[in-house]
Amino acid sequence: MEYTGAEIFVKSLLKQGADLIFGYPGGVVLPIYDELFKTPKLRHILVRHEQGAVHMADGFARASGKPGVALVTSGPGATNTVTGIATAYMDSIPIVVFTGQVPTALIGNDAFQEADIIGITRPCVKHSYLVRDVKDLASTIAEAFYIATTGRPGPVVVDLPKDVLLAKTKFEYPETVELRSYRPNTSANKRQIEKLAAALEEAKRPVLYVGGGMILTNAAAELKKLAHTIQAPVTMTLMGLGSFPSLDDLSLGMLGMHGTYRANMAVTHTDLIVALGARFDDRVTGKLDEFAPNAKVAHVDVDPTAISKNVPTHIPVVGDLKDAMKKLNAVIAESKVDWKAKHKPWLEQIDEWKHANKLEYVKKTNVIKPQFVVEEIDRVTGGDAIFTTEVGQNQMWAAQYLTLKRPRTFLTSGGLGTMGYGFPAAIGAQAAFPDKVVIDIAGDGSIQMNIQELGTAVQQRLPVIVAILNNGFLGMVRQWQQLFHGNRYAYTCMESQPDFVKLAEAYGALGIRATKPEEVGPALEQAIAARRPTIIDFVVDREENVYPMVPAGSPLNKMLLA
């Protein structure tokens, strides 16, 4: 029996176990939409803007660990996905984005709604396909999911010309995918693991520096075991948050530009830094040649290009992080070292740093401090929620003040720093976990970048809560202007702001405003109890800054503390 490309598309997704699409229709993808109409098993969430669809697929993937799927039309539909794709690429998130394309005979003719989306997205995809023959469609879809989810994960774009969706062929979905040109190295070399274990045995002041790879490979349990066995402190990047409980005695919290005092001091004084699924981003290292100046560097990563890219590495380990962690734990289990005794002076030193400069802010009774809102969110939810963030001060306060316990509970655009990410990502996460509390910790600027998705949340009855830390500024940029540009606040104040409560109501969502500290907790409780899409407008202290701060280009130990 023969099927159309559109039928094969639907069958392939179901075979793949992907039963949720975030999408937006248009001319060339109509054949697929016609099939979706007949296939209620394959759920489709209609977004309000294609960027939203990709961020939702991304949020779905980060929260669930399963690949996210987006479907859009050609031309403007496809170009609207670019920021979402680049966001997923920078953070190594497995998503597959299907774009419609004009019929093959018209490609290259500047046809109506034609865009060379393969060309436009080439630098920000893990891989991409233009399907030119319906016979290749099923195998291409299988390859796309395989590539997106294996090795270092990432976004894959599949461009689907309309004639391919209408042409017919047999349906055969490959059981397994094997590509001679792509064999992700998943097994860590035993020798290198032994070298790493030996270095740990020798080190006096080791630090485990953990990135998003720990979450992508679901290796949090192995990390906990390693850290507790060898009694080594753990610091996390923004992307690594959640992989190690932040209230654990061995947790140093986040490092880098807005990292904790103790994390940045520990990294500056360590003699062995063990990078686990992290990539020495400039927001983490500060001034590169003064980063961890006394340290040997060990680096475990599935992507060989990440190793020795920014920092010379003494002990490279290429392979799947979870596999490497298991092997490392096995070797460590044989060790005769009394780790506790060996690291006692180091942990005492860290304890001193911990108490010297805690994360702190001046509490007020007449005005809401943004940090207080995050603390209240943490308290009211008991940390049992999925958090997303926008970008700016809101993101950094969320990273600093949430006491995250579990992986996949903190979704944030780290690499690209995409304002407008958090809200659609929260919708995607909520679609994956309809019963969980999902909260987007937002800024008043960022939320306006994808506010239209309120319509999606209301239509789908996804009870996402948006907590706007409304400082009436593009706060993080204003902070830089204050600190580094002589208080000249050039174009960082949106003097006209919507009434967010009325805006929520206009969309059929719940709107709440809090202007006093004592209203913060009750507002959150009301929102959580409502179980419907809610915006809470927290009117906060306008010129609060994020501290500590390592000015761009400074070494990590040169922190501005207040």
Partner 1 sequence: MRHTISVLVENKFGVLARISGLFSGRGFNIESLSVAPTLDLTTSRMTIITRGDDAIIEQVIKQLNKLIDVIKVIDFSEEDFIERGIVLVKVNAEPSNRAEILRMTEIFRGKVVDVSAKTYTIEVTGAEAKVSAFVEMIKPLGIIEIARSGKIAMSRGKKTLG
Ligand X SMILES: Cc1ncc(C[n+]2csc(CCOP(=O)(O)OP(=O)(O)O)c2C)c(N)n1
Q: Which amino acid, one-letter code, is at 184?
A: P
Q: Which amino acid, one-letter code, is at 42?
A: L
Cβ atoms 283, 272 nearer than 8 A: no
Cβ atoms 177, 47 nearer than 8 A: no
Q: Which two tokens stand for residue 339?
A: 């780790």
* CA Rg value for the chain: 24
The whole-angstrom separation of Cα 160 and Cα 169 is: 15
Q: Which two tokens stand for residue 370?
A: 């943004």
Which residue is catalytic, options 162, 322, 327, 342?
162
Binding segment (CB under 5 A) for Mg ion, from list 144-152, 312-320, 414-422, 441-449: 441-449
CB of 288 to ligand X, least distance (A): 22
Cβ atoms 385, 436 nearer than 8 A: yes
Check if 476 is active-site.
Answer: yes
Indicate whether 300 belongs to the interface with partner 1 (CB under 8 A): no
Contacts of 288 (CB under 8 A, 6+ apart): 282, 310, 311
**Closer residue to Mg ion (CB): 397 or 473:** 473
Site for Mg ion (CB under 5 A): which residue of 12, 246, 448, 471?
471
**Closer residue to ligand X (CB): 223 or 391:** 391
Phi, psi (rounded to 5 degrees) for 315: -125, 90
Please give the residue ranges that form the binding site for ligand X (CB under 6 A). 390-394, 417-419, 443-446, 469, 471, 473-477
Closest CA to 241 of 355, 398, 393, 376: 398
**Closer residue to Mg ion (CB): 251 or 395:** 395
Looking at the DSSP assignment, which residues form a beta bridge with residue 550? none
Report what 521 binds from ligand X, Mg ion, partner 1, none; CB cut-off 5-8 Å by kind.
none
The whole-angstrom separation of Cα 392 and Cα 223 is: 29
Indicate whether 130 belongs to the interface with partner 1 (CB under 8 A): yes
Q: Which helix (H) or strand (E) holds 130?
A: strand 127-130
**Closer residue to ligand X (CB): 211 or 443:** 443
Check if 239 is active-site.
Answer: no
Check if 113 is active-site.
Answer: yes
Binding segment (CB under 8 A) for partner 1, from list 62-70, 175-183, 342-350, 434-442: 175-183
**Closer residue to partner 1 (CB): 82 or 550:** 82
* SS3 category, 254: strand
The size of the chain, in residues, is 562
Check if 290 is active-site.
Answer: no
CB of 473 to Mg ion, least distance (A): 5
The whole-angstrom separation of Cα 123 and Cα 241 is: 27
Which residue is catalytic, options 50, 143, 390, 453?
50
Binding segment (CB under 5 A) for Mg ion, from list 298-306, 313-321, 427-435, 473-481: 473-481
Indicate whether 181 belongs to the interface with partner 1 (CB under 8 A): yes
Site for Mg ion (CB under 5 A): which residue of 143, 444, 537, 544?
444
Which residue is catalytic, options 2, 38, 112, 352?
112
Q: Which two tokens stand for residue 320?
A: 């799947």
Could you list the residues that contact partner 1 (CB under 8 A)?
A: 118-119, 122-123, 126-128, 130, 132, 147, 179-182, 303-305, 308-309
Annotated active-site positions, please?
50, 112-113, 162, 476
